[in-house]
Amino acid sequence: MSSHHFGRSSFVRRLYLASALLLSVALASCQSMDLSRSDVRAGLIPPSKAPALSVGAEVVAERMPASIVVDMDSGRVLHADDADGLRHPASLTKLMTLYLLFEAIEARRIGLDDAMPVTAFAAARAPSKLGLRPGETIRVRDAMSGLAVKSANDVASVVAEALGGTDDAFALAMTRKARQLGMTRTNFANPSGLPDEAQISTARDMAILGQQIRKRFPQYAALFKTEGFEYGGRHYAATNKLLGRVAGVDGMKTGYVNASGFNLVASARRNGRGVIVVVLGGRTGRERDASVEALIDTYLGPGS
């Protein structure tokens, strides 16, 4: 998928939205976070005095490598290479879209068999997509597979509109949740990861998100290791090609836009130990996958 430049007015509007969110977060700084103090001590979360995100204040590296390996159980950082450098997350974004969907299901604001309407806006999102049409509906359980397995951008907007009204409003909720989870250097501008200059994150922040999904919503772990699913009479294969090929890999999500390069958040468990591995900025999907596999072998031992 090729990125394209957005108009200055669009970017300024998004900067305004991000600034408004950061102000609201600052005013609500006394609110508790979902992570424990032990997670902070383990080094997974940057210290509370870490600089607040200011969109546009730093250069976002394009197609540059960054990586982190985190012990899934203790949260201890085992490896870090430019883990706090700003990058475009691409479709790793959908992990947060899913997180908020899981929260809505948990709170019984929406059910697995509820039908979500497809608007013309959602149907018009660029590929990758399921090809949903305006006026159709999609069940929540099918949308979950569409996001986690196929990485469908039309589905991401369907979920955003169902839960937040619009992509922009939902993106604000995504960024607000990121702050609550300790993701201090992340800003979401849309629910899919489609190209946007204001859509930024880091390898460390994505590791936090991956670990929190595994810790808070273990009932959905199988979703992220699904190698394919059927929808509308078609079979969709998982974008994560390590599934079923690399021993112990059991999730989570790939991402690619031209400005980001090839990204992957992967979870793996071998010999009673688990890790979250994040690799950003791969030059090719094969290179990215090889880097993730090598890091898994290094910190969990070779697969059988």
Q: What pLDDT is attached to residue 178? A: 97
Predicted pLDDT at 58:
75
- Model pLDDT, residue 269: 96
Q: Which entry of 94, 150, 225, 253 is annotated as an active-site residue?
A: 94
pLDDT at 57 (0 to 100): 62
Calpha distance 137→39 (Å, rounded): 40
Query: Catalytic site residue 150?
Result: no
Q: Using CB atoms within 10 Å of the CB of residue 8, give its burial: 0 to 12 exposed, 13 to 18 middle, 19+ buried.
A: exposed
Q: Pairing mode, if any, of strands 77-81 and 115-117?
A: unpaired
Catalytic one of 67, 91, 201, 291:
91
Distance, CA of 280 to CA of 288 (rounded, Å)? 8
pLDDT of residue 2: 39
Measured in degrees and rounded to the nearest 5, phi and psi for residue 136 equal: -75, 175
pLDDT along the chain (304 residues), means of 10: 42 47 36 32 35 60 96 95 97 98 97 98 97 98 97 98 97 96 96 96 98 96 95 95 95 96 97 96 96 97 80
Return d(Cα 135, Cα 242) in angstroms, integer: 36
Select which of 67, 128, 145, 151 is catalytic. 151
pLDDT of residue 154: 98
Structure tokens at 168: 């922009």
- With both helix axes pointing from N to C terminus, report the angle between 8-27 and 167-180 in degrees, rounded to the nearest 10: 40
- Rounded to the nearest 5°, which phi and psi values hold at 16? -65, -45
Measured CA to CA, the distance from residue 139 to residue 121 in angstroms comes to: 18
Active site residue 67: no
Predicted local confidence at residue 276, as pLDDT: 98
| 151 in active site | yes
